[in-house]
Structure 1
Amino acid sequence: MSAIDFLLIILQMFLVLGLSPLIVGVIRRVKAHMQCRHGANVFQPYSDLAKLFCKEPVISTTASWIFPATPYILFSSTLAASLLVPTIIAPMPLNFAGNIIALVYLLALGTFFLMLAGLDSGSAFGGMGSSREAIVASLTEPALILSLFAVALTAGSANISAIVYKTAILQGIVLDPPPHLMALVALFIITLAETGRVPVDNPATHLELTMIHEAMILEYSGRYLALVEWAAGMKLMIFLTLLVNIFAPWGIATTLSPSALGLGVLVFVGKVVGLAVVIGVFECMFAKLRLFRVTELLGAAFILSLLALVFFYILRV
């Protein structure tokens, strides 16, 4: 690995780490504005993380090693997954490991340990949240793989860097509208489900009848809670990056020239922040679904991603 490749990895790592709390702050700010509230500024998540890192965690007496280890496993696996997704340049230095399956299972690893931690804390809310998260994860992961494979067939590769590079060269969604549009809608629904957004979950609630993600992390505090919240922001960043760079790859750098990289950073930040605004508006327009309705929504995402694959072969005949 050359020095330039190493610098690109460091740049992407700091970009994801630094930008993910801002994305959460933008969504909260948009929701506050839509609800006619003043709300906190977009940099409030940075202050929240700094405050939590300064506090000592409290651990349940019934918890085993899984409970304190989960925040570190969740944070590291999510950060590793973020390095497989191209942000500012299509041919990422780690593209040799950037397979779709590797990305999905790195994210699933963190979710698996988070469910174990919810059970390990001995809380009734934690067990309830883990059970609900298992239902959501079992429905979203197949749909996520199929939606990404629908685009991978067009690019001729399951490597994420190759997919982004091919769609950037061929103008993305314009290349194959019907399959890509269905895969885009499916991936957007999956993004809302995997990141715990409305209408699947509500990250701002603590009502026991509606909690999913918040129920699993209810027993966390201090630096453990900071790592979990930061990992949740990075996971949201990963899915937004997939949406903007696979289906709207305009502006992403395809060469290592300084001008292309600088433009790639500006365009990437603009696209991700713009999509965060869209999600904030979307959450204010829809109410949270009942739990038994969530399976119907995720089933629709699976059907759309499956139809995207079918339409790819039909249009090639």
Structure 2
Amino acid sequence: MSATGYVAVAAQVAVVAGGAPLLTGWMRQVRARLEGRAGAGVVQPWRDARKLLRKEPVSPTGTGPAFRLAPLLLVAGTAVVAALVPLAATRTPVSGSADLILVVALLALGTVALALAGLDTGTAFGGMGASREMTIAALVEPTILLAVFAVSIPAGSTNLPAIVAGTIDHPARTASPAELLAVAALVVAVLAETGRIPVDNPATHLELTMVHEAMVLEYAGPDLALVELGSQMRLAVLLGLVATLAAPWGVATGGSPALLALALALLVAKVAVLGTALAAAEVFRAKVRLFKVPELLAGSFVLALLAVVGSYFLTGEAGR
């Protein structure tokens, strides 16, 4: 493995960790402009993180290791996902380990860690948010698995770099019905996984509607900064995964530093476009009722299942 592969892994993690707050700030700015407001600025999330890091860490009385370790597990697990997913390059030292099931398991690790932290506080809001989060996760994780599995059938592997490299070699796959169904299901799953409208509203603190915010109400100072950073990184990584699977062009398949630099620039552009579209859609869309969320996620699961069936039959027809 050349040095470019190691640089690619480090660059992916650095771009996700450093650019995720900027992506969140950009999406808030887009929403503010469409709503006729000036907005706080693109770098406001970094200002908020700096303010929180200067505060003294405070933990509620009676909490245990689950509460204190959850922010670290969330950030660390997302950073590992950013290293595994071929956001900018397919030939890296960890490409052999970038299996679909491992990536989904690492994403679920952060979700479970936050849910346990919410339960560890012993508050009504923490338990309510943890219960809702695990209910959503139980429907989201299978959808992500099926959606990416549908894309993996033509490649003959659940290894994400192999899937992306195969799609680059056969660009017609991106326009197949199975691929379109899989991407549609994955988009809905990403909205639920990251707590965006219509599943959850990240800007609300209404007790009866919040999901993610209910689990992290007791966090303050540096711990809250880590929780916010981890959530922002998850959004950036999942949008990057959607962009890579739906439009893999530009992902470096060789060891050239120039190709890697171009791939990173295109990654930033594609994620920014997806973030802009998501923020704009949230302005004109309302959050659905909590009891309607399972129906929405069940619909995305059906789309992913249809994508698997369609991909299986299309691959079988092409092999004849």
TM-score range for the pair, normalised by the shorter chain length: over 0.9
Offset of residue 234 of structure 1: 0.8
C-alpha distance in 2, partners of 1:142/1:88?
Answer: 26
Q: Which amino acid counterpart does residue 34 of structure 2 have in structure 1?
A: M
Structure 2 residue ranges without an equivalent (≥5): none
CA contact (8 A) 2:149 2:308 kept: yes
Aligned-pair identity (%): 47
Q: CA deviation at 1:172?
A: 6.1
Q: For 2:252, what is the secondary structure of its paired residue?
A: coil
Gaps of 5+ in 1: none
Give a deviation string over 1:36-77, Cα, whole Å, max 9, x none.
111111111111111111111221112112111111111111
Counterpart position of 2:112? 112
Take 2:296 and 2:210, find their aligned partners in 1: how far apart are those partners?
17
Secondary structure in structure 2 of the residue aligned to 1:288: coil
1:288 aligns with 2:299: no
Look up the match of 2:250.
Answer: 251
In the alignment, the residues of structure 2 paired with residue 73 and residue 219 of structure 1 have an alpha-carbon distance, to the nearest angstrom, of: 17
Give the corresponding residue for 2:64: 64
Instruction: Give the match for residue 237 of structure 1.
Output: 236
Deviation at 1:312, TM superposition (A): 1.5
Structure 2 CA distance for aligned equivalents of residues 105 and 189 of structure 1: 19
In 1, Cα distance between equivalents of 2:236 and 2:187 = 13
Read off the aligned partner of 1:29 and give its amino acid letter: Q
Question: Is 1:199 aligned to residue 195 of structure 2?
Answer: no
C-alpha offsets along residues 231-259 of structure 1, whole Å, 9 cap, x if unaligned?
A: 10111111111111111012221212232
Q: 2-side partners of 1:186 and 1:287: how far apart?
A: 19
Q: For residues 250-300 of structure 1, what are the alpha-carbon distances to aligned partners after superposition, in whole Å with 9 as ceiling and x for unaligned? A: 222121223212211211111110110000011112100100100000000
Residue 33 of structure 1: CA displacement? 1.0
TM-score normalised according to structure 1 size? 0.97
**Matches of 2:50 and 2:283, distance apart in 1:** 28
Give the equivalent residue in structure 2 for 1:102. 102
Counterpart AA for 2:117: A
Q: Is the 8 A contact 1:173 1:181 kept in 2?
A: no
Is the alpha carbon distance of 1:173 and 1:22 closer, same or farther for their aligned partners in structure 2, counting shifts above 3 Å?
farther
User: Which residue does the alignment assign to 1:188?
Assistant: 187
Amino acid in structure 2 at the alignment position of 1:19: G
Q: Deviations over 1:202-236 (max 9, x none)?
A: 11000001100010001001110111110101111
**Letter aligned with residue 42 of structure 2:** V
What secondary structure does 2:162 align onto?
A: helix
Quote how far apart the aligned CAs of 1:13 are: 1.6
CA RMSD in angstroms comes to 1.3
CA distance in 2 between partners of 1:152 and 1:314 (Å): 13
